[in-house]
Every structure is written in structure tokens, then in C-alpha cells.
Amino acid sequence: MGMFVLKWAQKRLALAWSSDGKTTRIGMACLLTLFMTIGSFCRTRDTGAASFSIDLDKPFNEVLAIVDEVAHSGSIKGTFEYRGDEQLSGALFTEKSSLFPAWTEPGKVFYKIRTKALSPSHFLNSNDVGTVAVRYVVQERGPSSTRLFIDAVYIENARHHGHPSDGYVETCEFGEIGKLLKDREQLQALAASGQPLSPEKESTSHSQDRQEEIKAEVEKRTAHNNNPKSAKVADPPKVVEIDSAKLNDLRHAIAEQKSQMATERAALENLEAQARQMRASEYLRVRSERAELKVLPYSHARVVEALRRGQQVTVLAKSTYWYQVRSEDGEEGWISHNLLEVEP
């Protein structure tokens, strides 16, 4: 069969290649070029999970401040040039960028740009050298409701090809924003409990060890405020100078403070959990025969769990194409919104 097709093709081509087949040859070449040119301009471009969006039950100004801070962070999360790197450093904040269409809807827009990026990861069909841009749009929805959009795109310098993110960049950028929001929430809770915080700690930090830093600071401050002498506890040579009764009192006070701290922390976590449940208590169910719960919101991400039709999931967060959900087994992950339906 193969040989038959080959011989047929050879005959046709031989005809085109005969001495009187010049017109046919030119026609073939023109048609081929036309086909490829049209294809080049008209074919569907790379599709990716664009426009990460989420509604946050936070005041607009609070979210705006955090997003502004992340936009100034100097690095773009969720993408890298060299294997082993975790982010793209050298990014710059800007308020305008031609790499995205103009934003015409309400909201405050920020951009973070990294030029001369070398085939960055997590952008579909990434190639050559170009610019990575992240756009944040913060929209006020109500007194304590804010909508956040995040988009990331990579544009080649030479061919101006636009490569949308596979969703990972937006997710990681939001992860950073979420972490800072959580930090601020914790700090506010602690401040409300009557424990003053240092001014520098009131502004959130970029540190990855932020959580630990906060805990350490709170413990230090608590001990210091409630027992000024506690500073001496940390100074071994001076402890020797205190009599044993005073030392016992001091230890007792510290233990009390620690216990109080633990109680407050537990209460805070409980409140957080309640708040999270309240704002995301949306239940959907799986509509397809089999649906994959993934670690991250993109198609090639690792599968956490395979869900079956009819299984209920709790929605924790939403982007345009992907929902972050918790399954009945307690597993959390992302699932394409097409695979879910509202419970009857």
C-alpha cells in the first residue's frame, strides 16, 4: 500500500517536474508558501490558563498595599531561566506596559517587568530571549471585598511572539500576595490583642521566613512588655546575679506568657479557619466521569487525586479556568472549572 502511494506521488510529482510542468511547479510553490503564510498569521495561538482572578474579603486599600509591595519585590515567582533557580530576579516595577492590551475596566493596575529573560519556564512554547511581564489589577468590589486579577506573559524580542503563562506564574505570584495578606492579618490580630508591634514589623516583609520572624518577634515583644526583667533572662552572666526566688518568679511569668501565646495562637488559627470556610463555602460536584485534582492550575501539573463523577468538592479559590478545591478526602488542589457543576 505504502509503495503504491509512493509511486502515485512520484508520478504526480514527475508530471509537475516534466519540462512543460514549470507552471505547475511555480503554482505548487506559491500554494505551499501561501498556505504556510496564512497558517502563520491565522492559526490559533498558544492557549494557556490566562487571567488568574480571585475575590478576597479584604478592604481594597489593604490588598492594594500588598499587591504594590509584591509588584516592587524585584523578582517574578513561578518561572526561571536556569535549572535550579526558583524565580526570575531583576524584575522592575512599572505602572505602564505595552505588553498587555490597555486595561479599560475599573481598578488599579501594576506591572512587573523582567527584560532579557532567556526562554523562561512555564510560558507555553517559550523560546529565544524576551520580556516577562506580570500584570496585577486590583478592583474594589465592596467595603471589604476586593477582586484581584493576575496575568503573566512572555514576549520574544525578535519575533514578538506572545507566550502566555501556563498558570503557574500567576499562582505563585498570588501565593506571595496571599502569604503577605496572611502575615498582615496575623499582625493585626496580635495588635488587636493589645500587644504593640514594632513599626518595621507593621509593614510586611519579602522574607521567606516571614512566619518564623513574626513568631520570634511576637514572643520577644510579649516577654519584654509583660516582664521587663525578662531581658536579663537571656543574658546568662546576669542571671547568676539574681536570687533563686526571683528566678523562679521569672520562669513562672515566662511560662504563663507562653501559655497565653499558645492559647491566642490557637484562637487565631481557629478564627482563620472559620473565616476561610465562610468565604469559600461553595460546594460543587464533579460532572465528568473522571476528573484530576492537580497540584497547580495547569494541565501538566502533578495529579493529587482522581475524582469521580458526583463527588462533592469545596471551592477555596477561583481563577478564570481553574478552581482551588478541597475534596471529600480532605485533599486540596486545582481542578478545571469545566469538570465541575453546581449541585442541584
Cβ proximity of 181 and 54 under 8 Å: no
Q: By CB under 8 A, tell whether 300 contacts another protein.
A: no
DSSP state of 208: T
Is 344 one of the binding residues for another protein (CB under 8 A)? Answer: no
Is the CB of 85 or the CB of 331 nearer to another protein?
85
Q: Does 121 bind another protein (CB under 8 A)?
A: yes
* Closest C-alpha among 132, 128, 133 to residue 159: 128
Report the residue from 95, 104, 160, 241 that binds another protein according to the rule CB under 8 A. 160
Residue of 1, 158, 192, 240 interacting with another protein (CB under 8 A)? 158
Q: How many CA atoms lie within 13 A of 60 on its CB side?
A: 11
Q: Is 129 in the site for another protein (CB under 8 A)?
A: yes
Contact residue for another protein among 55, 57, 128, 213 (CB under 8 A):
128
- CA distances for 26 relative to 21, 22, 282, angstroms: 9, 6, 63
* 299 sits near another protein (criterion: CB under 8 A): no
Q: Which of residues 184-243 bind another protein (CB under 8 A)?
A: none
Nearer to another protein, 79 or 314 (CB): 79
Please pick, from the candidates 20, 23, 39, 245, the single residue that binds another protein as defined by CB under 8 A: 39
Q: Which is nearer to another protein, 43 or 96 (CB)?
A: 43
Is 11 an interacting residue with respect to another protein (CB under 8 A)?
Answer: no
- The Cα 181–Cα 62 span in angstroms is 8
Q: Is the distance from CB of 66 to CB of 88 less than 8 angstroms? A: no
Q: For the residues of 139-193, what is the DSSP string, one character each?
A: EEEETTEEEEEEEEEEEETTT--EEEB-SHHHHHHHHHHHHHHHHHHHHHHHHHT
In the complex, least distance from residue 85 CB atom to another protein, rounded to whole angstroms: 8
- Only one of the segments 34-42, 106-114, 133-141, 217-225 lies at the binding site for another protein (rule: CB under 8 A); that segment is 34-42
Among 4, 20, 23, 40, binds another protein (CB under 8 A): 40
Task: Give the one residue of 1, 84, 278, 344 binding another protein; rule: CB under 8 A.
Answer: 84
One of 33, 248, 259, 277 touching another protein (CB under 8 A): 33
**Are 130 and 113 a contacting pair, CB within 8 Å?**
no
Contact flag: residue 19 with another protein (CB under 8 A)? yes
Phi, psi of 192 (to 5 degrees): -65, -25
CB 134 within 8 A of CB 79: no
Q: Are 170 and 52 in contact (CB under 8 A)?
A: yes
Report the helix count and the strand count for the chain, using DSSP H and E.
9, 15
**Which stretches of the chain bind another protein, using CB under 8 A?**
6, 9-10, 13-14, 17, 19, 25, 29, 32-33, 36-37, 39-41, 43, 46, 81-85, 118-119, 121, 125-129, 157-161
